[in-house]
Amino acid sequence: AQSVTQPDIHITVSEGASLELRCNYSYGATPYLFWYVQSPGQGLQLLLKYFSGDTLVQGIKGFEAEFKRSQSSFNLRKPSVHWSDAAEYFCAVGAEGGSYIPTFGRGTSLIVHP
Amino acid sequence: DGGITQSPKYLFRKEGQNVTLSCEQNLNHDAMYWYRQDPGQGLRLIYYSQIVNDFQKGDIAEGYSVSREKKESFPLTVTSAQKNPTAFYLCASLGTFFGELFFGEGSRLTVL
């Protein structure tokens, strides 16, 4: 069964600092990997996704993520955080075949200090 | 604009009442999902439907029911059997390519 671990419940950074949110997954083959962002009281918005090819993927709002098969990781990065990036971030994994049921991590809450 | 519409955004219910949350999509997607979100617990799958007139239980289906009579609509009923229904509910549909989910804005249910 597939699973996703986001080891950090909260991350606090200063505005302008770099950011890295960790995500580890468990799945036998190459999965589809996603990062979503959620503002308070809102739905989730897709930041970026990986399914094949270049292991460094670019997303919206200046985010990027790197797929590392050897570490079963898909960490999200941003070189310079803006106050508007404060939100909840979810990593998710999906796979082809049968019923498609994406699995989500528990989320990481990003706090941005001015 | 294409998207998913959930209503109502806020709903208050007395104990013992059933309530129905609406989810409508105009994206022409086949598969739709209902998730429950509680603080610190991420998203937990309640029900999903891959096609009209078919749906499957997720991890926490007890106390909930759904229907899928039309491709565009996937309403969720929270029954009086659900012991702790206060939560944020999210509806999603599955995009055509590579497993991306499209989410509605959510419905917050509070039991008084």
Residues near B81 by Cβ (< 8 Å), separated by ≥ 6? Answer: B62, B63
Q: Note the pLDDT of residue A96.
A: 65
- Tell me the per-residue pLDDT of A33-92, one tens digit each, with 9 for 90 and over: 999 999 999 999 999 999 888 899 999 999 999 999 999 999 999 999 999 999 999 999
How far is Cα B90 from Cα B67, in angstroms, rounded to an integer?
A: 16
Q: Do B99 and A9 touch (CB under 8 A)?
A: no
pLDDT tops 70 at residue A97: no
A49 touches B at CB < 8 Å: yes
How far is Cα B45 from Cα B35, in angstroms, rounded to an integer?
A: 5
- Tell me the per-residue pLDDT of B11-61, one tens digit each, with 9 for 90 and over: 999 988 999 999 999 999 999 999 999 988 889 999 999 999 999 999 999
pLDDT tops 90 at residue A95: no
Q: Do A105 and B106 touch (CB under 8 A)?
A: no
With contact defined as beta carbons under 8 Å apart, do A23 and A108 qualify? no
Chain A residues closer than 8 Å to B49 by CB: none
Q: Which of residues 55-84 of B touch A (CB under 8 A)?
A: 56, 58
pLDDT tops 90 at residue A99: no
Chain A residues closer than 8 Å to B40 by CB: 9, 106-107
Q: How confident is the model over B94-112, as a mean pLDDT?
A: 90
Chain A residues closer than 8 Å to B105 by CB: 42-43
With contact defined as beta carbons under 8 Å apart, do A86 and A78 qualify? no
pLDDT tops 90 at residue A10: yes
Q: Is A60 helix (H, G, I), strand (E, B) or coil?
A: helix
A100 touches B at CB < 8 Å: yes
Q: How confident is the model at residue A1 (pLDDT cuts 50, 70, 90)?
A: confident
Q: Do A9 and B108 touch (CB under 8 A)?
A: no
Q: Do B90 and A44 touch (CB under 8 A)?
A: yes
b or e along A45-80 (b: 16 or more beta carbons within 10 Å of the residue's beta carbon)? ebbbbbbeeeeebebeeebbbbbeeeeebbbbebee
Chain B residues closer than 8 Å to A105 by CB: 42
Q: Do A102 and B41 touch (CB under 8 A)?
A: no
Q: Note the pLDDT of residue B98.
A: 73
A9 touches B at CB < 8 Å: yes
Q: Do A101 and B108 touch (CB under 8 A)?
A: no
